[in-house]
């Protein structure tokens, strides 16, 4: 409310602490004040475990009131505070900067941290939020803009005296992003071990989703068996699939943008040809039959026909809970792509072909999938042993035949 948001500095607060023995947090701190002009009497209260915490809360609100910030504002959640102080926090920005900042605030900052009171947000919470955006395959500029708008809102909270320092000023996330962008040093370690594990995961995600939507399992199986990103799966249209050759002409992906999810070109703008293996051809055929004759019909959608993103898949299937229960606690949605590329490498797909399927710009990125697995190492050892034991043993220096004896004939 306007009369709450801009009170005169030094507004007087009446405060008290009540002890309630039967409560889990027995110390109830309360502040009351009268809004100048309207003479409306307002109050805020919160429960604490100790008397010291209760009085510290009152002191913090009094300091904020001395700066012209009412207790109503000082106790807001991040979402409420950002909306209340948006124009003040964003002052000085050019209009062209505001669109990506608004998108970052609405699509990432608020869904991740918006429900928390401003004063409870810590460096650790912001770290986890940023790493979550990276894991959801947000672009580097998207992460940067989302963090920048969060920094501005929290900086305003510092100036208002609600918090003592800005927890959104985190560092080091670019290195984490680079690791994710480079697909890590050992992507093979992130892959599912085989089809049975993939099938188990898909079925578990279906069972945990609302209405047990079969489409989530289809998305997971298709992404792993084609070694593609969730956004690329979402961008697939019926016309992109050739039933004669079972080749997928991969040319678009679904990604976040101001206003929601949109379709655009693939990462690196590289069109790719991806094989559809026999194991998932019945699945793809069912989807093609279901969407009908429209060549631009989206092949994979959510239960209401909407676009899919990695975050949508995570939330709809309770991904983190499911993978933890199945023993894949570190498995991300992007690791379905690592799974497919690892399987293709183990199947003997040539390096130059694997690179084209993956759409890698650097050959060194593709080579990370060629590290031999344990079975390959065992087979190499067995082959060497067979070679060395075929004769009498290893002969490092070949034996020279005896020199002929010379005989003089008279």
Q: What is the pLDDT of residues 250-285, one digit of tens each?
A: 999 888 765 677 888 877 667 899 999 999 999 999
CB 359 within 8 A of CB 337: no
Model confidence at 239: pLDDT above 90: yes
> pLDDT tens digits, residue range 295-326?
999 999 999 999 998 889 999 999 989 999 99
> pLDDT tens digits, residue range 71-99?
667 778 899 899 988 999 999 888 888 98
- The average confidence (pLDDT) of the chain is 83
CB 60 within 8 A of CB 17: no
Confidence band (pLDDT; 50, 70, 90) for 208? very high
Spatial distance between the Cα atoms of 201 and 333, rounded to a whole number of angstroms: 11
Strands 247-250 and 27-35, by their bridges, are unpaired
Model confidence at 53: pLDDT above 50: yes
Q: Determine the distance from the C-alpha atom of residue 114 to the mean position of all C-alpha atoms in its chain, rounded to a whole number.
A: 17
Lowest mean pLDDT among 6-10, 36-40, 208-212, 379-383: 6-10
User: Nearest Cα to 37, choosing from 72, 5, 67?
Assistant: 5
Model confidence at 393: pLDDT above 50: no
Burial class (CB in 10 A: 0-12, 13-18, 19+), 256: buried
Give the number of residues written for the chain.
410
Percentage of the chain beyond pLDDT 90 is 40
Model confidence at 374: pLDDT above 60: no
Q: Mean pLDDT over residues 403-409, rounded?
A: 53
User: Nearest Cα to 27, choosing from 43, 51, 44, 45?
Assistant: 51
φ and ψ of 12, to 5 deg = -85, 130
- Residue 291 contacts by C-beta under 8 Å, 6 or more apart in sequence? 238, 297, 298, 299
Model confidence at 183: pLDDT above 60: no
């Amino acid at each position: 409310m306007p009369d709450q948001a801009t009170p005169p500095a030094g507004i007087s607060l009446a405060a008290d602490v009540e002890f309630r023995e039967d409560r889990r947090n027995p110390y109830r701190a309360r502040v009351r004040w009268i809004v100048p002009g309207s003479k409306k009497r307002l109050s805020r209260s919160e429960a604490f475990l100790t008397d010291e915490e209760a009085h510290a809360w009152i002191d913090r609100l009094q300091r904020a009131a001395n700066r012209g910030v009412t207790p109503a504002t000082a106790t807001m959640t991040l979402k409420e505070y950002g909306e209340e102080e948006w124009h003040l926090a964003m002052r000085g920005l050019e209009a062209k900067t505001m669109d990506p900042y608004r998108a970052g605030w609405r699509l990432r900052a608020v869904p991740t941290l918006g429900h928390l009171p401003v004063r409870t947000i810590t460096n650790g919470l912001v770290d986890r939020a940023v790493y979550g955006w990276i894991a959801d395959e947000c672009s580097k500029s998207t992460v940067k803009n989302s963090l920048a708008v969060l920094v501005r809102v929290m900086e305003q909270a510092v100036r208002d005296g609600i918090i003592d320092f800005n927890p959104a000023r985190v560092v080091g996330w670019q290195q984490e992003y680079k690791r994710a962008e480079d697909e890590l040093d050992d992507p093979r370690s992130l892959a599912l071990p085989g089809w049975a594990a993939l099938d188990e995961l898909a079925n578990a995600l279906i069972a945990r989703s609302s209405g047990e939507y079969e489409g989530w399992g289809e998305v997971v199986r298709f992404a792993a068996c084609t070694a593609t990103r969730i956004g690329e799966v979402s961008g697939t249209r019926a016309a992109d699939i050739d039933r004669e050759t079972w080749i997928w002409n991969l040319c678009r992906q679904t990604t976040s943008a101001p206003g929601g999810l949109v379709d655009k070109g693939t990462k690196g703008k590289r069109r790719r040809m991806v094989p559809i293996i026999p194991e998932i051809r019945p699945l793809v055929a069912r989807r093609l039959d279901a969407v009908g004759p429209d060549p631009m019909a989206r092949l994979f959608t959510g239960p209401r026909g909407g676009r899919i993103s990695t975050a949508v898949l995570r939330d709809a299937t309770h991904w983190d809970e499911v993978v933890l229960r199945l023993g894949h606690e570190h498995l991300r949605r992007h690791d379905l792509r690592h799974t497919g590329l690892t399987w293709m490498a183990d199947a003997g797909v040539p390096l130059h072909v694997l690179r084209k399927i993956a759409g890698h710009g650097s050959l060194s990125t593709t080579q990370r999938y060629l590290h031999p697995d344990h079975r390959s190492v065992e087979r190499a050892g067995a082959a060497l042993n067979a070679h060395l034991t075929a004769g009498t043993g290893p002969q490092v220096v070949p034996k020279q035949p005896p020199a002929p004896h010379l005989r003089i004939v008279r």
